[in-house]
Amino acid sequence: MPLATIDGLKVNYQVQGSGPHLLMLAPGGFNSTIDSWTRGGVWKEMDSLNTLSKTFTVVPYDRREAGISGGRVEKLTWEKFARQGLAILDHLNVKQAWIVGGCMGVSVAAAMAVLCPERCKGLLLHWPVGGYLWMTKGQTFYNRHIEFVRANGLAAAAARAASGKNFWLDPEAGPWASQNASDPAFAAEFVTQDVARYLEICAQSRDALYGDTMPSGASGGELMTIKTPALIMPGADASHSTSSAWAMKELMPNAEFWNVLPPHQHAENVLAAILDFVKRHP
């Protein structure tokens, strides 16, 4: 898989197939990597990269702070994640693309559509995240890491990351666990930071990413400005609340709600819904 340096960060990405470009914003929380598309659920059942590449030129990638892509200790926001996706399109000289997002990838897609709607042909949004339980989960993960570093120091957090578990599997390891595990130079610099400043950055990131119970990625007012055609495929669990999917449908003026809930979603009907939507929005 090719590697690029974008905004000073290493990005692991892939290009496969032919047809209109489809930028793939991976599910998996803070483990949003290329292999998230084949790790489980509908996307694994679909063999998503190979199947979608029959219709699209697919561009999946490891989001920053995930997999073997790079990261940087700074306040993390949905806008920063969105700008990375747009920069990958720039790197490939792609002016406009379809955007598919799963889980937290939906949030990045929404942020992209707010930031640069002209770059988005359409949005394919599978299992939006949001709601009280989602907010609480994200805040709790950050708070656990903050308390761990406050009690044990940055070196202990970096050592915990060495086990290979990412932030979503081991909150104490922190949001930069993947970089501490895969990049010795990053880890060496990480442990020398000012602890107070680092904890402030973590708190700012927590509040920016998990600050309310709305669907993550864009405010209610911002969602109302997204005129890009969007297909919303709802989830139905604590993180991927059905209410979040409905909120997006209610606020986004050109959104369609696919009224099929898990466990009745499967590879065949998800693929059919996507291809039908794309066909109707050339």
User: Which residue in 46, 68, 49, 71 sits closest to 60, CA to CA?
Assistant: 49
Of 190, 209, 228, at which residue does a domain stop? 209
Per DSSP (E only), the strands in the chain are: 3-6, 9-12, 16-17, 21-25, 57-60, 97-102, 120-126, 230-233, 255-257
Same domain, 31 and 124: yes
Give pLDDT, residue 1. Answer: 66
Give pLDDT, residue 282. Answer: 84
Same domain, 274 and 169: no
Q: Characterize the bridge pairing of strands 3-6 and 9-12.
A: antiparallel
Question: Across the strands, what pairs with 16?
Answer: 58
CA 69 to mean position of chain CA atoms: 13
Low-confidence ranges of the chain (pLDDT < 50): none
Q: How far is residue 262's CA from residue 185's CA, in Å, rounded to a whole number?
A: 43
Residues of the domain holding 247: 3-131+215-280
Give the HSE-up count for residue 246: Cα atoms under 13 Å, Cβ half-sphere: 8
Q: Kindly state the tokens that stand for 132.
A: 């009280």
Phi, psi of 255 (to 5 degrees): -100, 140
Cβ 142 vs Cβ 205: under 8 Å: yes
Give pLDDT, residue 193. Answer: 96
Q: How far is residue 18's CA from residue 131's CA, in Å, rounded to a whole number?
A: 37
Look up the pTM and report it: 0.96
* Preceding amide of 60 cis, omega within 30: no
**CATH number of domain containing 71:** 3.40.50.1820
Cα angle vertex 27, ends 23, 29, to 5°?
Answer: 130
Same domain, 91 and 198: no
Give pLDDT, residue 165. Answer: 83
Same domain, 121 and 261: yes
Q: Characterize the bridge pairing of strands 16-17 and 57-60.
A: antiparallel
Give the HSE-up count for residue 21: Cα atoms under 13 Å, Cβ half-sphere: 20
Look up residue 264 and give its amino acid. H
Of 209, 233, 260, at which residue does a domain stop? 209
Same domain, 159 and 267: no
50-97 pLDDT per residue, tens: 999 999 999 999 999 999 999 999 999 999 999 999 999 999 999 999
Would you tell me how many other CB atoms lie within 10 Å of the CB of residue 282? 7
SS3 call for 240:
strand
